[in-house]
Amino acid sequence: MGSMRMSRFLPLQVAAVCYRRSGASLEFLLVNTTRGDKWTFPKGATSSRLSHSQAAEREALEEAGVVGVIEPQHFHLFLYPKGASSQRNGVKEFVVKAFLLEVTHTRPPDEPGRNPTWFGIDDARIALAKGRTVNYAAELRTVIDRAVDHLSPGQSVLPDFRPTHTTWRSLLRILTFGLVRTETR
């Protein structure tokens, strides 16, 4: 819906959502932001010499020191703020294309202070929300949710789906009601 419109007007970045399987569970690798006060996914600018997935792969190597297999297609788009409202330039929003990267091995990252750390699913959601406004925390939680959904074939996430916003809830009710009505005809 809005994501295609957003991407035309906002600058684009790419992110590598780095993961590994730990038994039946998943773990995600997060890094500290440049200022070191929040957790995030390795991400950065696109490059004319690289595909978007290759640029995301480069960011994962530079910021998290990870090597692995990246999917060629992004699985999610999300909004991400840069800067602070207290700064002269204020907050600038980016549209970020998220790519899944299965980590095969790690080495020390090129960028100092990134502190790459593995988190379980719930801990990753909590870590990404810390220090962020409600809407950006929700954007990043959704990235984890979509990644888990994408990486868990055959497990429907629908019964668990609880929209937080009343508009989405009523839209879901209308859509569900519409489906039920058409099936009974």
Residues 125-170 have pLDDT tens digits of 999 999 999 999 999 999 999 999 999 875 444 444 444 455 455 5
CATH for the 2-155 domain, from 3.40.190.10, 3.90.79.10, 3.30.1330.10, 3.40.1030.10: 3.90.79.10
Its pTM stands at 0.76
* Cα–Cα nearest to 143, from 81, 55, 56, 76: 76
> What are the residues whose beta carbons fall under 8 Å from the beta carbon of 134, sequence distance 6 or more?
none
Q: Which amino acid is at 146?
A: R
pLDDT at 82: 76
The pLDDT > 90 percentage for the chain reads 63
Residues 49-67 have pLDDT tens digits of 999 999 999 999 999 999 9
pLDDT at 45: 94
The pLDDT confidence band at residue 83, using thresholds 50, 70 and 90, is low
B/e letters for 107-128, b = 16+ CB within 10 Å, e = fewer, are: eebebeebebbbbebeebbebb
pLDDT at 10: 84
Q: Which helix (H) or strand (E) holds 19?
A: strand 12-22
Confidence check: pLDDT of 181 > 60? no
The pLDDT confidence band at residue 34, using thresholds 50, 70 and 90, is confident
Q: In the beta sheet, which residues pair with residue 40? A: 31
Each domain of the chain, given as residue ranges in start order, spans 2-155
